[in-house]
Amino acid sequence: MNNLNLKEIMNKPERLAPGHRMCAGCGATIGVRAVLRALHEGDYAVIGNATGCLEVSTYMYPYTAWEDSYIHNAFENAGATLSGVETAYKALKKKGKIPEDVNYKFITFGGDGGTYDIGFQSLSGAMERNHDMVYVCYDNGAYMNTGIQRSSATPMYADTTTTPVGSQSNGKMQNRKDLAAIIAEHDVPYVAQTTLTTDFKDLHRKSEKAIYTEGACFLNMMAPCPRGWQYDTSEIMKICKLAVDTCYWPLFEVDHGKWILNYEPKKKLPIEDFLREQGRFKHLFKKGNEDLLVQFQQEVDRRWENLLYRCARED
Amino acid sequence: MPKKDRMSGNEAVAYAIKQINPDVMPAFPITPSTEIPQMVSSYIANGEVDTEFIPVESEHSSMSAAIGAQAAGARTLTATSSAGLALMWEELLLAASNRMPLALALVNRTLSGPININCDHTDSMGARDTGWIQIYAENNQEVYDNFIQAYPIAEHKDVHLPIMICQDGFITSHAVENIELMDDDVVKEFVGEYEPEEFLLNPGKPMAVGPYAISAYAMEARKNQEIALENSKDVIWQVAKEYEKISGRKYGFFEEYRTKDADYIMLIMGSAAGTAKQAVDELREQGKKVGVLKLRVFRPFPAKEIAAALSRCKAVAIMDRCESYNGNGGPLGSEVTAALFRNKVMIEAVNYIYGLAGRDFTVENVFDIFAQLDDAVTSGTEIEQYQYIGLRK
């Protein structure tokens, strides 16, 4: 695991074929391909998917971009649907209907709408029942498929179509939900927060760990959306790096209850560096809104300190 | 050898499940169907079945997980009632449109409000246009027999549709009656192994389920689904014929009870048919030509067959254990009158709403209804075409 050969990993056959209809510069597609690269060759997979951009753009009848078996059911039930698939696997294996040497893995993808919000109950149920599956949330911080409405993953002060900035509004009024922590509190074997880093090692390692750890595992993967965040499509990797280096999106994992910090920037950058790149925060840089930036920084710091505390705790 | 026993309707369904030994059962408790997943859980706990039970956190998730399991290649079922079925509604449509031949043991209960746990058909009637096959039972023997026929109908290659086996909450689900049970091996052979043509867990042959389809394709998918439902009519007949061979019990779209020379027929579904038959027997002794048409298969709706069966009578009382709030009658009232009109059977057809939320339906109610029909036909008295029976005065 420590000696990841990036070139070798990147040259593995793609399990999400090109030709799908996702936007250029979309973090979800890049992230999904990276997760699937963590599947060992020879292993089969069933991919689940909540309704969202990823689903409507990758499986449009009569074409599918998925090389593996794939099931989309509805918006709010990716957790429950894949728990049915995984249970069927157990039942059919027990009856000898699937050869013993055949190995299936179960991975489901959902956006933050399908995961943090409408699919939260279904996700919580699947995690608590500890099905042998991985739920990957590609968190782009709003309902992008329906046109950039706020979600409980949207950060405070973001400009969305249901929290528009106006003369009486500075965007979203509430902080975002800390979903990785909430799922960790389900006492599942493995939870990790990750995003697209330049070497892809963090995402690859965590995907592999989640896929090959028995039981319910959860990955919260920040996946920027060029339409919703309003950045230049070529800037995606820079934005991800700034999210990590400002500690807006820390990289950590919770392995069988143990909180582990995976990356601590040598120099924690000010949150402005991350926000400045995105059109959804441009009102924060207007004269008179300096206090909003201060508040944003305070919230990032509070969460970062909280994470450091959790990771420092000896069990 | 078949064995005589006595059990409740829920026990009868659970017993059929044990004999079939399906692969996966996700379920969430709700009165009055709760006993079914409880009993299956006990079978599992005692090693009597191989079934994997998923204790989901809601009925929406039970139907979602059922779709996942069935798509994966497992024979799947669930059980529910009332609000549980209502919560599943979106997923009922997906089970049917994804052509999943899974089974649902429905124990009919009314919907809120006011909240009430007793029987009427509001729950299944609310799901009548979701694409499911719906079969109703008068008593415990019938719900047992219907459940054993469920998979051979649903899984037939010309059908591939989900099936709802309905029985009346408490009236049959909790009442203990005599029943004849078949041998396990006879049931197993009748139901057979589930061998799907395409499924998710088919190594080397991946499958994709649940596409987005643009307008250029989606309408054909709907039409194909409609054709499958029409196909199920023949299959329901074939399966009933085969079932008669092993059980000696005869089934069809409906049962015609003393209707041959009847002037007046009561068309009714579920346990209340027993009450109607009792009343008919008493009226026949007084020389009244009355009969009962007990509808067993509501979806697909056997419109032509119903019209033909009613074509020789003078009037029909169409009994709905459900209000449909269209201002014009209950669901059976609308569909049966449409069937009569389309097949040019121009008889008096009166729609009665009865037994809502567990209100008793009595032999006296049946006497009153037949008396009304007779009055209308013989004296030409104007009759209210859509009315409630058994309301408090």
Angle between helices B215-247 and B89-97 (to 10 degrees): 90
C-alpha dihedral sign at B2, B8, B9, B14:
negative
Same domain, yes or no: B205 and B328: no
Same domain, yes or no: B112 and B205: yes
Chain A touched by B115 (CB under 8 Å): no
pLDDT over 60 at A1, yes or no: no
Give the mean pLDDT of A178-186. 98
Same domain, yes or no: B194 and B335: no
Same domain, yes or no: B236 and B302: no
Chain-centre distance for alpha carbon B343? 24
In the predicted model, what is the mean pLDDT of chain A?
Answer: 96
Say if A80 falls within a structural domain.
yes
Percent of chain A with pLDDT over 90: 95
Find the CATH number of the domain harbouring A308. Answer: 3.40.50.970
Chain A touched by B202 (CB under 8 Å): yes
The answer to whether the beta carbons of residues B330 and B296 sit under 8 Å apart is: no
Give per-residue pLDDT as tens, A91-111.
999 999 999 999 999 999 999
Containing structural domain, residue B188: 3-247
The answer to whether the beta carbons of residues A73 and A81 sit under 8 Å apart is: yes
Say if A284 falls within a structural domain.
yes
Give me the pLDDT at residue A7, please: 85
How far apart CA A248 and CA A296 sit, in angstroms, is: 10
Query: Is A73 in Cβ contact with B210 (below 8 Å)?
Result: yes
Say if A1 falls within a structural domain.
no
Same domain, yes or no: B281 and B234: no
Same domain, yes or no: B223 and B300: no
Say if B324 falls within a structural domain.
yes
Tokens of B213: 């389809």
Total of domains in chain A: 1
Say if B266 falls within a structural domain.
yes
Total of domains in chain B: 2
Same domain, yes or no: B266 and B162: no
Nearest CA among A258, A267, A252 for reference residue A303: A252
Partners of A77 on chain B (C-beta within 8 Å) are 60-61, 64, 91
Find the CATH number of the domain harbouring B213. Answer: 3.40.50.970
Query: Is B203 in Cβ contact with A99 (below 8 Å)?
Result: yes
pLDDT over 60 at A222, yes or no: yes
Which of B25, B40, B52, B222 is the best mutation test for A, with the most CBs of A within 10 A?
Answer: B52
CA distances from B219 to A71, B45, B94, B177, B214 (A): 21, 46, 15, 47, 9
Say if B368 falls within a structural domain.
yes
CB neighbour class for B95 (10 Å; exposed up to 12, middle 13-18, buried from 19): buried
Partners of A128 on chain B (C-beta within 8 Å) are 57
Chain A touched by B203 (CB under 8 Å): yes
Secondary structure (DSSP) of A277-302: T-GGGGGGGSTT-HHHHHHHHHHHHH
Query: Is A95 in Cβ contact with B206 (below 8 Å)?
Result: no
Say if A244 falls within a structural domain.
yes
| Least CB–CB distance from B201: residue in A62, A77, A98 | A98
How far apart CA B312 and CA B347 sit, in angstroms, is: 9
pLDDT over 90 at A5, yes or no: no
Residue A277 φ/ψ, nearest 5 degrees? -75, -10
> A169-170 and A63-64: which strand pairing?
unpaired
For residue B33, give the 3-state DSSP assignment: coil
Domain boundary among B212, B247, B282: B247
Give me the pLDDT at residue A313, please: 82
CA angle A106, A85, B191 (to 5 degrees): 150
Domain boundary among B225, B247, B269: B247
Close Cβ partners of A100 (under 8 Å, ≥ 6 residues apart): A93
Provide the terminal-to-terminal Cα distance of chain A, rounded to the nearest Å. Answer: 25
Distance from CA of A72 to the nearest CA of B (A): 5
Total count of residues recorded for chain B = 393
Same domain, yes or no: B209 and B321: no
Query: Is B52 in Cβ contact with A90 (below 8 Å)?
Result: yes
Same domain, yes or no: B238 and B270: no
CA angle B297, B106, B48 (to 5 degrees): 115
Say if B371 falls within a structural domain.
yes
Q: What is the DSSP letter of A234?
A: G
Give me the pLDDT at residue A3, please: 61
CA atoms within 13 A on the CB side of A167: 0
Residue B280 φ/ψ, nearest 5 degrees? -65, -40
C-beta neighbour count of A265 within 10 angstroms: 12
Q: For residue A56, give the chain B residue with the closest CA.
A: B212
* The overall pTM is greater than 0.95: yes
Domain boundary among B213, B247, B281: B247
Say if B393 falls within a structural domain.
no
Give me the pLDDT at residue A10, please: 87
Partners of A87 on chain B (C-beta within 8 Å) are 24, 26, 52, 54, 65, 69, 74
Give the mean pLDDT of A50-58. 97
Query: Is B68 in Cβ contact with A80 (below 8 Å)?
Result: yes
Distance from CA of B319 to the nearest CA of A (A): 36
Say if A294 falls within a structural domain.
yes
The radius of gyration computed from the CA coordinates of chain A, to the nearest angstrom, equals: 19
Same domain, yes or no: B263 and B375: yes
Same domain, yes or no: B160 and B14: yes
How far apart CA A19 and CA A46 sit, in angstroms, is: 20
**Residues of chain B predicted below pLDDT 50:** none
| Least CB–CB distance from B73: residue in A62, A92, A124 | A92
Same domain, yes or no: B161 and B31: yes
Tokens of A5: 């050969």
Query: Is B203 in Cβ contact with A84 (below 8 Å)?
Result: no
Residue identified by tokens 């007046």 is B264
Say if B325 falls within a structural domain.
yes
For residue B81, give the 3-state DSSP assignment: coil
Query: Is A122 in Cβ contact with B66 (below 8 Å)?
Result: no
**How many residue pairs from chains A and B have C-beta atoms closer than 8 A?**
167
Query: Is A99 in Cβ contact with B76 (below 8 Å)?
Result: no
Give me the pLDDT at residue A314, please: 67
Find the CATH number of the domain harbouring B286. Answer: 3.40.50.920
Partners of B67 on chain A (C-beta within 8 Å) are 73, 81, 84
Query: Is A94 in Cβ contact with B69 (below 8 Å)?
Result: no
Say if A199 falls within a structural domain.
yes
The answer to whether the beta carbons of residues A53 and A144 sit under 8 Å apart is: yes
The answer to whether the beta carbons of residues B350 and B315 sit under 8 Å apart is: yes
pLDDT over 60 at A2, yes or no: no
| Least CB–CB distance from B211: residue in A59, A89, A97 | A59
Chain A touched by B44 (CB under 8 Å): no
Containing structural domain, residue A27: 6-312
Query: Is B213 in Cβ contact with A70 (below 8 Å)?
Result: no
How far apart CA B185 and CA A92 sit, in angstroms, is: 21
Secondary structure (DSSP) of B161-189: --EEEEEETTTTTT--EEEEEPPHHHHHH
